[in-house]
Amino acid sequence: MITGELKNKIDGLWDVFAASGIVEPLSVIEQITYLMFVRDLDDADNKRAKESAMLGLPYQSIFTNEVKIGDTMIDGIQLKWSVFRDFPADRMYSVMHEWVFPFIKTLHNDKDSAYSKYMDDAIFKLPTPLVLSKVVDALDEIYAMMNEMQTADVRGDVYEYLLSKIAKSGLIGQFRTPRHIIRMMVEMMDPASDEVICDPACGTSGFLVASGEYLKEKKKEEIFFDRQKKDHYMNHMFHGYDMDRTMLRIGAMNMMTHGIDNPVIEYRDSLSDQNTDKDKYSLVLANPPFKGSLDAETVSGDLLKVCKTKKTELLFLALFLRILKIGGRCACIVPDGVLFGSSKAHKSIRKEIVENQRLEAVISMPSGVFKPYAGVSTAILIFTKTENGGTDQVWFYEMTADGRSLDDKRTPVEENDIPDIIERFKHLDKEAERKRTEKSFMVSKDEIIENDYDLSFNKYKEIEYIPVEYPPTSEIMANIREIEMEIGDAMDELEKLLGI
């Protein structure tokens, strides 16, 4: 994580936007993202030009001598960040507004990057030349500090710090699953170098970013010293879908700032017929929206066959089963109601996972995990698509602490079940002897079936009652009389002191 002077610089950049009247966090991040993209285009173009010169290869810059913007031909060199940043504020503002933004909106015609696909509706919102000048200067200082630090993760950490301001705002915190919960889920799934990973409700791409970072940390040599695996990591491993184009832009930039060149981040209503994915992914990591009910006419017929409902949390489970390959795994967050809901749809999706797939784990989380934005209790389901059953013993764990206070402040605390969860999940063979009075234990498939496929922790938990022995009533009464006499003596002493 970033600290110190760099963090102060980013906070200062944020203050420039606030002073200009742009205070909504998503708008601020969106504008910063646009400008980072513009700056990165210049840096990438310069880098490719140098590499081509060193190899003696021809290179065609995107900033060619003449670029057509609308009906006007202009000198493309003026569109480079390193050039227009030195213009007077008024001219820089007009170049950015009239030329640079229209230019980057056309890039998807020539450059098939995940980010440039979603620039068509980009709007330049900086209100004055002075504000743009301050923002450009601040970004240059931030980039200079990042370059001085020379660490691979600093760029991603900067963007993560920007995204954390969404969560702190409380306005659209629902887009952001707590980072430590994401990391826990990724560590439990332990993605391999040949995975094809999907989040069908990706938001800012938190699960995809965490998976990429985990692979770089744990399997760096395996990926980056094999040309084929590196190409897979950069271009084919990560897939994310969302219905919010702003989220798509931010999510794609989040991936690229973490070193993934071309993630497949696309606009898609994952629950509709426009999503034709089937038997495609080896790993699904997701926290899908719990937004209530959908119009049945907008939902894919394939999903309704598995689970006839309008509830998104159930439909997404049916979707995960459809898009996973045989042998593909899923770790997803669901509201507690999914575990014990009594409707036909609730029972049918649980039965499908228990009977026809392999349910491995149910981790109940406390209601404070998503505070201050939501107080709903949630759980993590982990299962494997088999289409042929396989559920035998299901591991249940009751998380009571996640290293943060469970109130609206979510301040760090010592109590943290996450390391224990990860360690125990990796050694489930040792869980068989755990008692039902402990934080985790195994439950047989037969017992789950007997309980109407109820997956709530409390259904199987046993409470151990410890008998308490109290002293005889006569002794208690004698103690009360003694205390009463002491109070009386104290009152007499107080009256004497007051002269009453």
Give pLDDT, residue 291.
65
Give pLDDT, residue 151.
65
Query: At residue 174, does pLDDT exceed 50?
Result: no
Query: At residue 172, does pLDDT exceed 50?
Result: no
Q: Span 161-183, mean pLDDT? A: 71
- Counting Cβ atoms within 10 Å, is residue 453 exposed (0-12), middle (13-18) or buried (19+)? buried
User: 1-5, 112-116, 316-320 — which is least confidently predicted?
Assistant: 112-116
Helices 129-149/25-55 angle, 10° precision: 60
Are 242 and 267 in contact, with CB atoms under 8 Å apart? yes
pLDDT-derived band of residue 44, with 50, 70 and 90 as boundaries?
Answer: confident
pLDDT-derived band of residue 11, with 50, 70 and 90 as boundaries?
Answer: very high
Burial readout 115-154 (b: 16 or more C-beta within 10 A, e: otherwise): bbbbbeebebebeebebbbbbbebbeebbebbeeeeeebb
In the chain, the percentage of residues whose pLDDT exceeds 70 is 93
Which stretch, 17-26, 69-78, 192-201, has highest mean pLDDT?
A: 192-201
What would the pLDDT profile of 218-231 be if each residue is shown by its tens digit? Answer: 998 899 889 999 99
Query: At residue 302, does pLDDT exceed 60?
Result: yes
Give pLDDT, residue 173.
41
Distance CA 209, CA 203 (A): 11
Using DSSP bridges, classify how beta strands 440-444 and 393-398 pair: parallel, antiparallel or unpaired: antiparallel
CA 472 to chain centre: 58
Helices 25-55/154-169 angle, 10° precision: 170
pLDDT-derived band of residue 102, with 50, 70 and 90 as boundaries?
Answer: confident
First and final C-alpha spacing in the chain: 67
Q: Span 172-180, mean pLDDT? A: 66
Size of the chain in residues? 500
* Domain 172-460, CATH: 3.40.50.150
48: closest CA among 61, 65, 37? 61
Alpha helices for 197-300 (secondary structure H): 206-218, 220-224, 227-235, 245-257
The SS3 of residue 232 is helix
Torsion angle of C-alpha atoms 447, 453, 458, 460, degrees rounded to 10 = 0
Average pLDDT, rounded, for the chain: 88
Give pLDDT, residue 292.
61
pLDDT-derived band of residue 296, with 50, 70 and 90 as boundaries?
Answer: low
